Amino acid sequence: MKKYLLLAIGGLLAATFSSAQTSTVHFVGEADGNSSFTNNGVGFNIISHRGGFSIQASYPGTGWTGAAVDDVYIDNSGTTNGVDNAVLNASLSIKTTSNLFRVARFWVYLGDKSANQGTVTGTLNVTGKANGVNRFSQTKTSGFTNSTATNNGYTLIDLTNLNGQNFSSFIIDELQLTIGGNYQYLAVDAMSWIKDAAVLPVTFGSVNAAVKNNNLSISWTTEKETANDHFEIEASTDGQQFTKIATVASKATNGNSDTALNYDWTSNSGLPIAAFSLIGLALIPFSNSGRRKAWTLALAVLSVGAFTIAGCSKSGDAISNNSSYYIRIAQVDQDGTKTYSKVVRVQQDQ
């Protein structure tokens, strides 16, 4: 009986993995310069963290399918507004707009500013994220192809065995690649990935944050909501550590909507923006019930002589040119799971 049970379980697992949809995207048909693409019914955005990355279709025969040359791929060649896209520590993300996914392997071409290889050396960091949180991060430091005579200059990055570890089973919504050392040019082609059954509960559209009339004003849109409960607005002074400052209920009926919905929130407290860094952002009142407690603590902190808010001019109250403040929206599912929007910098009131 035990033997048959094990066989049955083994067969079930085999059926589960074999039924997963594996796709390899070669970017065929994508327009040159696009910052997004679609493969197997799933949309992806190409996010440039440093250097300008987009679909490259202007140089036929310079890509790699994994077995032969091809014509279209992602890279950071060319210039934008006179600024070279090929830079040291260039970094991009390939991020889904709907389904979660797993990555099996992909190919990269690494070179100097002019895509030359030869004796150029450097590193490649590979990070998988879900809901803005790192699921894995590894840096490859050697074994890169240094001649177009081999695989057209491309190096296979196999996540089933990256630095001796298997990361191909990690479910993510974002794959981030960052080059280091003397590498300045990065091309990505032939990404093999598996669509996960899970779908992001909310698809975020635009997110904006600005200081208006000395109050923090935030707006965002959702293109689709599934089993959404509410949103939490989070703020940060460094773009890394965030604190919740407000809660906003979902407008979707029972948390579900297939149409775009618009949201906005304003601090409406009279609390000078200059106080953000001192009282830690978390003290911005976001409801009548929390206002008195927040102000009490704010006044207690201010009374120690750090600075005085009375008599401040508008320029003193607004975010200074030397300060940066960041906002992101956390979507909270009905089961408590969180999904994050992109991080945006607060625009200063002029």
Q: CA nearest 172: which of 239, 242, 94?
A: 94
Domain boundary at 147, 168, 199, which?
Answer: 199
Say yes or no: 106 and 231 in one domain.
Answer: no
Across 166-180, 215-229, 284-298, 328-342, least confident range: 284-298
The answer as to whether 7 is a domain residue is: no
Query: Does residue 90 contact residue 186 with C-beta atoms inside 8 Å?
Result: yes
pLDDT tens-place string over residues 88-103: 999 999 998 777 899 9
Number of H helices, E strands in the chain: 4, 22
Distance CA 327, CA 186 (A): 30
Distance CA 221, CA 251 (A): 11
Distance CA 350, CA 341 (A): 26
Top-confidence residue, 133 or 294: 133
Say yes or no: 146 and 246 in one domain.
Answer: no
Enclosing domain of residue 220 = 202-345
pLDDT tens-place string over residues 122-173: 999 999 998 788 889 999 999 999 999 999 999 999 999 999 999 998 989 9
Query: Does residue 261 contact residue 239 with C-beta atoms inside 8 Å?
Result: no
Distance CA 338, CA 227 (A): 12
CATH code: domain of residue 333: 2.60.40.10
Q: What angle do CA 214, 49, 237 make, to 5 degrees?
A: 30
Say yes or no: 103 and 41 in one domain.
Answer: yes
CATH code: domain of residue 164: 2.60.120.260
Say yes or no: 207 and 193 in one domain.
Answer: no
